[in-house]
Amino acid sequence: DQPVVDPAVTATADDIAAMRIRGAATIADAAAAALATQAERSDAATPAAFERDLRASARELYETRPTAVSLPNALRYVLRGTEGDTVSALQSSTVESAETFRAELEQAQSKLGDIGANRLRDGDIVMTHCHSTDALACIEAALESGTAVEAIVKETRPRKQGHITAQRLRELGVPVTLIVDNAARRYLDETDHVLVGADSIAADGSVINKIGTSGLAVNARERGVPVMVAAQTIKLHPDTMTGQTVAIEMREETEVLSADERTAIDGNADGMPPLRVENPAFDVTPPRYVDAIVTERGQFPPESIVTLMRELFGETTAEPWDG
Ligand code: RUB
């Protein structure tokens, strides 16, 4: 018997893979919603068939992008809440589990925002990289409490998520200066905080986020600008507690170089092997370049994040979709 995965799940998986749905928290939210849809629309004849289909759906969502641990953490949360002896009991518990997860995600982000906002002072200039909803929650909370800030927004090649950040900040009334990534060091002289999100946080306090974050953090340290990482606890990567490293996604070269550009470069280089293009989507910032990790449970120096991880995860177990 082949598992039955609802087309809505496949559509969400495609959207995540193609980055129409992107950013760690947004991906987690969409994955939980997709599992709820899978459960709701299931016409499985037996509880075993229902669980098989749900696990297959989780696996399809899981296999889209490897770096943001919020995705497996979301799937694990929803699947752990799936219980009952009948298909209908399994359906309702799965939907409820997904709804609880999504509500907690939203609450955690807003709580994190309040905590992060405490680090910002009236008139501060914040430099951002990529587009992070957790990072923006800190700015939004600051504005709500009457703290005015300005932003220097890095474009973030190759996908230019900085444009989304610029748009959101302007909707909030924040004055924005958009710069190319290469201009970051020059503008650090005017910056009071570097504020970024995270796709995963490792047990040693390393921050895995959009490619370019590590260089920005090193430059910020050299300039004496504090680096603040806004990351809900769903970004904490349980497997890193046993020494595993976080997989860095490599994306298509066409994000960096069009077919025409490739032809122009390769055109006259007779006998040379084709130009190699590499496009890693994320990098690892060592903990020593990070001043604070802001979560909904408070802010932590990166070196102490492992304590929170032990409290939250205890002993790590096998993935439910492997069952
Ligand atoms: C997005 C990215 C974001 C984190 C955090 O990368 O690196 O900084 O995911 O975002 P991509 P959030 O655009 O490749 O998905 O705070 O919204 O979870």
pLDDT in tens, 30-41: 999 999 999 999
User: Among residues 44, 50, 60, which one has the least CA distance to residue 12?
Assistant: 60
Q: What is the pLDDT of residue 316?
A: 60
Distance CA 24, CA 112 (A): 15
95 and 35 in contact (C-beta within 8 Å)?
no
Q: What are phi and psi of 84, to 5 degrees?
A: 140, 160
The tokens of 29 are what? 């939210």
Quick: pLDDT tens for 165-201.
999 999 999 999 999 999 999 999 999 999 999 999 9
198 and 227 in contact (C-beta within 8 Å)?
no
CA of 167 from ligand 1 middle (Å) equals 16
Of ligand 1's listed atoms, the one at least distance from the Cα of 161 is 13
Q: What is the pLDDT of residue 58?
A: 98
198 and 131 in contact (C-beta within 8 Å)?
no
Q: What is the pLDDT of residue 294?
A: 98
Identify how many contiguous H helices and E strands the chain contains and give both numbers: 11, 10
CA of 133 from ligand 1 middle (Å) equals 8
More confident residue, 292 or 267: 292
Average pLDDT estimate for 212-229 = 98
Domains, the chain, ordered by start: 7-110 (1.20.120.420), 114-243+280-313 (3.40.50.10470)
Average pLDDT estimate for 94-107 = 98
More confident residue, 112 or 315: 112
210 sits in which H/E element:
strand 207-210
Quick: pLDDT tens for 131-152.
999 999 999 999 999 999 999 9
Indicate the top mutation candidate among 109, 194, 210 to test ligand 1's pocket, ranked by most ligand atoms within 8 A of CB: 210
| Residue 279 pLDDT exceeds 80 | yes
Of ligand 1's listed atoms, the one at least distance from the Cα of 22 is 15
Give ligand 1 pocket residues (Cβ under 6 A). Answer: 22-26, 68, 130, 132-135, 161, 197-199, 209-210, 281
Average pLDDT estimate for 98-124 = 98
Quick: pLDDT tens for 45-66.
999 999 999 999 999 999 999 9
Query: Could you give the residue numbers annotated as active site?
Result: 130, 199
| Residue 267 pLDDT exceeds 90 | no
Indicate the top mutation candidate among 16, 21, 161 to test ligand 1's pocket, ranked by most ligand atoms within 8 A of CB: 161
CA of 134 from ligand 1 middle (Å) equals 9
For residue 247, give the amino acid letter.
Answer: A
